[in-house]
Chain A
Amino acid sequence: MKNEKKKNEKKRSPLRWLPFDFVRITAAPGLLWFRPKIIYENENAKKKIRGGALLISNHIGLFDPMYLMMAIWYRRHRFICKKELTEHRLGFWLRLFRCIPIDKDDMSLAALRRVTDALKDGELVSMFPEGQVSTQSESPAGFKSGMVLMSIQGGVPIIPAYIKPRKHFYSRLVVALGEPFDVTARYGARPKFSQLDEAAALLYEKDLLLAQLASRERN
Chain B
Amino acid sequence: MKKEEIREKLLDILRSASDDESVVDVCTDDSVLQTDLGLSSVNMLYTVIAIEETFNIRFEDVTVSSFRTFGDVVSYVEKKLS
Report the minimal beta-carbon distance from B71 to chain A, rounded to whole angstroms. 20
A108 touches B40 (CB 8 A): no
Report the minimal beta-carbon distance from B43 to chain A, rounded to whole angstroms. 5
Those of A172-200 within 8 Å (CB) of chain B = 190, 192-194, 196
A62 to B49, CA, bound (A): 33
A109-B63, A110-B61, A146-B41 given; name 19 further pairs at CB < 8 Å. A106-B41, A107-B63, A108-B64, A109-B45, A109-B48, A109-B49, A109-B61, A144-B42, A145-B42, A149-B45, A190-B16, A190-B17, A190-B50, A192-B17, A192-B19, A193-B18, A193-B39, A194-B19, A196-B46
A206 to B45, CA, bound (A): 25
What residues on A are CB-neighbors of B45 within 8 Å?
A: 107, 109, 112, 149
Which B residues have a C-beta under 8 Å from some C-beta of A?
16-19, 39-43, 45-46, 48-50, 59, 61-65
A148 to B43, CA, bound (A): 11
A144 to B41, CA, bound (A): 10
B40 touches A145 (CB 8 A): yes
A196 touches B42 (CB 8 A): yes
Which A residues have a C-beta under 8 Å from some C-beta of B?
103, 106-110, 112, 144-146, 148-149, 153, 190, 192-194, 196
A193 to B34, CA, bound (A): 13
Number of A-B pairs, beta carbon distance below 8 Å: 51
Give the 10 A-B CB pairs with smallest separation, nearest first: A108-B63, A106-B63, A110-B61, A194-B19, A193-B43, A145-B42, A106-B65, A109-B62, A146-B42, A193-B17
A103 to B46, CA, bound (A): 16
Instruction: Supply 19 A–B pairs (Cβ within 8 Å), ascending by A.
Output: A106-B64, A107-B64, A108-B61, A108-B63, A108-B64, A109-B48, A109-B49, A109-B59, A109-B61, A109-B63, A144-B42, A149-B46, A190-B16, A192-B19, A193-B17, A193-B18, A193-B46, A194-B19, A196-B42
B52's nearest neighbour on chain A, judged by CB, is: A109
A192 to B23, CA, bound (A): 15
What residues on B are CB-neighbors of A194 within 8 Å?
A: 19
What residues on B are CB-neighbors of A145 within 8 Å?
A: 40, 42
Report the minimal beta-carbon distance from A116 to chain B, rounded to whole angstroms. 9
Report the minimal beta-carbon distance from B57 to chain A, rounded to whole angstroms. 12
Select B18's contact among A103, A109, A146, A192, beta carbons within 8 Å: A192
